[in-house]
Amino acid sequence: MKAEKKAPVVKSEVLKKRERKEFLEAMLYLLPFFIGVVVFTLYPTFFVFTTAFKEGYKYLTGAFDSIGFANFKYVLGDPYFEMALKNTSIYVLTVVPISLALSIVIATLLNQKLKGIAIFQTAYFLPMVTSVTAVGMAWKYMFHQNYGVINYFLGLFGVSPINWLGDPSKNIYALIIFGIWNIMPFTIILLLSGLQNIDPQYYTAAKVDGAKTVRIFFRITIPLLAPTIGLLMIINMISTFKVYNEIFPFFSGNPGIANNLYTVVYYIYKAFYVDWKFGRACAAAVILFLIIFVLTRIQLFIQKKWVNN
């Protein structure tokens, strides 16, 4: 005997009205967020991309001469932009891996259940709640050639005083050292969170099998932290490509002692707010966006292969 087909359930008008009401109520709560996204994210992005192609754009009137690639051609041929790309690339390629390596070691130590470890955790997290400009001023005095604490400690090992901020060839190293210290707290927090989510049974089983500490670190800790490490590499890469605030306190708002420390974001700032070359500034911003987008996609591809293997 064939089973009888059930008639489709038809929602009552009352139920439909209730669902519509709930949907509209949810949209009403989300409306301020949507407005904020449109005003402060979507519109500025659209403005930058369109202005990058407007030659001779006048910000106050909105007038421009023509549409084309002149802004991109100028920016890509500008020696200062080439310097900015070089300095930014050096900064990213040194700060990201060094800060990540140091943060992994420090996060592993902070994850130990030792007496008084909370004091060290607080000390490492304090820079996150401190103004970059204020901390930069403190570091400026630490880098002082004659009275700075950094040269004092280097002198204990027989190193002659280094003119970190007065010698153009040393400016980039001062910026890198400060950059490493600046992004480590956030990196440590995420790594510590990843370490605390690792099942202790992995370590127990490894110790029962007689595995040494170093072997456990590279065979268990690092592989299980792979997703967190991959995420941090992407976040820190994006953050370091936008290096800008770190320069201001060191050199009183100038890009290095001899204008030798241009970064891409500083180039954009100068073109927009100082030279009033809005089209060129937007073109440089688009180029920076494309560089970060491509590198992020490459990192995501590598990370996917790494985690799956």
- Band the pLDDT of 206: cuts 50, 70, 90: confident
> What average pLDDT does the chain have?
86
- Write down the pLDDT at residue 1: 46
* Whole-angstrom distance, CA of residue 285 vs CA of residue 244: 13
* pLDDT one-digit tens code per residue, 71-84: 999 999 999 999 99
* pLDDT one-digit tens code per residue, 146-198: 888 999 999 888 889 999 988 888 999 999 999 999 899 889 989 988 888 88
- Band the pLDDT of 266: cuts 50, 70, 90: very high
Q: Which of 285, 223, 301, 304 is nearest to 72 (CA)?
A: 285
- Write down the pLDDT at residue 303: 77
* Whole-angstrom distance, CA of residue 236 vs CA of residue 244: 14
- Write down the pLDDT at residue 240: 93
Return the half-sphere exposure (C-beta side, CA atoms, 13 A cut-off) of residue 185.
Answer: 14
Beta partners for residue 54, in sequence order: 67
- DSSP H helices, the chain, are 13-37, 43-51, 70-77, 79-110, 117-125, 132-142, 149-155, 168-196, 200-208, 213-216, 222-224, 226-241, 247-251, 264-269, 278-308
* 166: region left, alpha or beta (phi > 0 left; psi from -120 to 50 alpha): alpha
All domains in the chain, ordered by first residue: 13-51 (no CATH), 74-308 (1.10.3720.10)
* Whole-angstrom distance, CA of residue 260 vs CA of residue 166: 12
Calculate what percentage of the chain has a pLDDT beyond 90. 34
The residue behind tokens 């204008």 is 259
- Write down the pLDDT at residue 52: 92
Q: Give the three-class secondary structure for 65.
A: coil
- Write down the pLDDT at residue 4: 54
Q: Are 250 and 137 in contact (CB under 8 A)?
A: no
Kindly state the average pLDDT of the residues 65-93. 93
pLDDT surpasses 80 at 16: no
Predicted TM-score (pTM) of this structure:
0.85
* Whole-angstrom distance, CA of residue 99 vs CA of residue 180: 5
Containing 54, the helix (H) or strand (E) segment is strand 54-55
pLDDT surpasses 50 at 65: yes
Lowest mean pLDDT among 5-9, 78-82, 202-206: 5-9
Q: Which of 222, 235, 256 is nearest to 87 (CA)?
A: 256
The residue behind tokens 């007496």 is 115
Q: Are 148 and 141 in contact (CB under 8 A)?
A: yes
The top-scoring range by mean pLDDT among 32-36, 216-220, 255-259, 287-291 is: 287-291
Of 9 and 163, the one with more pLDDT: 163
Residue 45, token pair as written in the block: 């992005």
- Band the pLDDT of 306: cuts 50, 70, 90: low
Kindly state the average pLDDT of the residues 74-103. 94
